[in-house]
Amino acid sequence: MSKSNPRLELSKEEMKSLGYKIVDAIVDHHLTQDKKLPVAVGTRAEMDSIFLEEAPEKGMDAQKVLEFVLKNVMANSTLLSHPKAYSFVPGPSNYVSVMADALATGFNVFSGGWSASPAAAELEIITIQWLLKIFGFPKKKGGGIFTSGGSMANLTALTTARNIKCGKDFSKAVIYLSDQAHSSNIKAIRVIGFREEQVRIIPTDSEFNFPINKLKNAIAKDRLAGLQPFCLIGTAGTTNTGTVDPLTELAAICKKEDIWFHIDGAYGGAAILAPKGKTALKGIEKADSVTIDPHKWLYQPYEMGCLLVRNHKHLSHTFTEKPEYLRDVEGNTSEINFYDLGIQLTRRFRALKFYMSIKTYGLQSFRDAIAYNMDLAEQLEEQMRKSSLWEIVHPATLAIINFRYNPIGKNYSAKKLDKLNQYISEKVVSSQKALLVTTILNNQIVLRMCLINPRTTLADVQETLELCEAFAAEADK
Ligand SMILES: *Cc1c(COP(=O)(O)O)cnc(C)c1O
């Protein structure tokens, strides 16, 4: 396209052939990704050597641009949907939702207000209601909103908690969370303007359990000092170990103390769909707000987070503004304008992918996938316990397991074990054959697997462990 194209249009033929090629590329990727290398490595200099240029004044053929992108962009991106992507919280995704995203973007549906797109707002209402029921929240009174991810859901929750419990003056307010709570909570606390001395980080015990007694002491001391305990963040599935805080007990404390109880279930919340997970998450239904993150263990592609609240009015009271330019689109109260329930005005249509994937596969498929993931982690634990090479540092919890290479009889020093496990991780990652990084638990460097991909098999995991063992043997020489 060497001429200017000021309407930014392609011909019908060009559109179709570009579109079909993209669909072909996505389908091909879905069919073959398990055989690809999951890890992409590249330095800034290497990426610059491929991409660095001035914004081109003149266009070029769309097919050529696509070819370049497929070859250079996609091939240089780590595949968080790969069965051997074990680190952080992977994003297994699913094809139906990918197509739903393409549809939502293709029609550029504005998912901010009812009058702009009643069906999009309705689908968000309906899917939020599905989630409210799944999490045992009141169906009529409860509410929620889809966000870009868990971080934004936590930010939305803490802003709401502050507004409802403190109003305009939060100078004496104090917030509590454990040292295993996700870093996005600390970020959110900072964003909404709390000073460091208003935050109590409660240290967990050596098994990463939330110490109720320490929390009670902290609240009591803060009250004596004339401060206002206003919010507790519990975690339903910590990112490090999958540990679920004692939700029922924490809820009772919050009720007694008139404290907002926010539960961060961004990683673990989805486990509620499986029988074992439901037991582990008992008490989650007692929260004032819960963050879940469908782009993790509900298998949605990025971006999709979600905040559920016990009382939908708490969101609208916190986020509704009535500017003159939105006067004509307000509508009535049952016709929800999601821009009144959160931070964004213009919002992409996230509900569609959740809706289409649940409609297509059925909720039972999601339940089975999540149960499978939890079982896989347990099977791996059982196997590792029988091995003379591996030590379980934290048992399979939800679908996370922490372990380290520590062969019986070698009596390695703590320092040597740290070095060895760090080395294993670095070698595995640089081999590009698996994404397996470390975390630190009780000052020890350990390996961590988050097994939420329903396409990961025990054989995949075994292959990865064998790779680790080979690197370990090499380091020992
Ligand atoms: C991943 C995660 C988050 C952050 O969610 P994003 O979607 O990455 O923004 C928050 N809390 C927990 C427990 C998480 O695992």
124, 126, 132, 137: CA torsion to nearest 10: 110
Cβ of 285 closer than 6 Å to ligand 1, yes or no, is no
Q: Are residues 70 and 191 in the same domain?
A: no
The number of distinct structural domains making up the chain is 3
Q: Give the CA distances from residue 97 to residues 27, 29, 107, 301, 459, in Å, rounded to whole numbers and listed in that order.
A: 13, 15, 15, 7, 27
User: Does some domain include residue 121?
Assistant: yes
Q: What are phi and psi of 267, to 5 degrees?
A: -80, -55
Burial zone of 22 (CB within 10 Å; 0-12 exposed, 13-18 middle, 19+ buried): middle
Q: Are residues 149 and 262 in the same domain?
A: yes
Q: At what angle do helices 458-476 and 363-385 cross, to 10 degrees?
A: 30
Cβ of 293 closer than 6 Å to ligand 1, yes or no, is yes
User: Taking a C-beta distance cutoff of 8 angstroms, is the pair 461, 470 a contact?
Assistant: no
**For 66-124, how does the pLDDT look when each residue is reduced to its tens digit (9 = 90+)?**
999 999 999 999 999 999 999 999 999 999 999 999 999 999 999 999 999 999 999 99
- Rounded Cα–Cα distance for residues 378 and 398 (Å): 9
Q: What pLDDT does 116 receive?
A: 94
User: Does some domain include residue 405?
Assistant: yes
Give the three-class secondary structure for 268: coil
**Residue 346 Cα to ligand 1 middle (Å):** 23
Which residue positions in the chain have pLDDT lower than 70? Answer: 1, 330-332
Compute the mean pLDDT over every residue in the chain, rounded to the nearest whole number. 97
Q: What pLDDT does 328 receive?
A: 76
Q: Are residues 61 and 163 in the same domain?
A: no
**For 253-308, how does the pLDDT look when each residue is reduced to its tens digit (9 = 90+)?**
999 999 999 999 999 999 999 999 999 999 999 999 999 999 999 999 999 999 99
Cβ of 245 closer than 6 Å to ligand 1, yes or no, is no
What residue has token string 């934004």?
152
Q: Are residues 164 and 272 in the same domain?
A: yes
Question: What CATH number does the domain containing 460 carry?
Answer: 3.90.1150.170
**Residue 206 Cα to ligand 1 middle (Å):** 23
Probe ligand 1: pick from 293, 298, 299, max atoms within 8 Å of CB? 293
Q: What pLDDT does 128 receive?
A: 98
Q: Are residues 199 and 331 in the same domain?
A: yes
User: Taking a C-beta distance cutoff of 8 angstroms, is the pair 35, 432 a contact?
Assistant: no
Q: Which domain holds residue 110?
A: 101-363
Cβ of 184 closer than 6 Å to ligand 1, yes or no, is yes
The domain boundary, picked from 341, 363, 385, lies at: 363
Q: What pLDDT does 1 receive?
A: 61
User: Does some domain include residue 69?
Assistant: yes
Could you tell me if residue 93 is left (phi over 0), alpha (psi between -120 and 50 degrees) or otherwise beta? left
Q: Are residues 56 and 177 in the same domain?
A: no
**Residue 144 Cα to ligand 1 middle (Å):** 17
Task: Return the biggest CA–CA distance within the chain.
Answer: 76
Question: Which ligand 1 atom lies nearest to the CA of residue 149?
Answer: 7
Q: Are residues 325 and 422 in the same domain?
A: no
- Rounded Cα–Cα distance for residues 472 and 376 (Å): 24
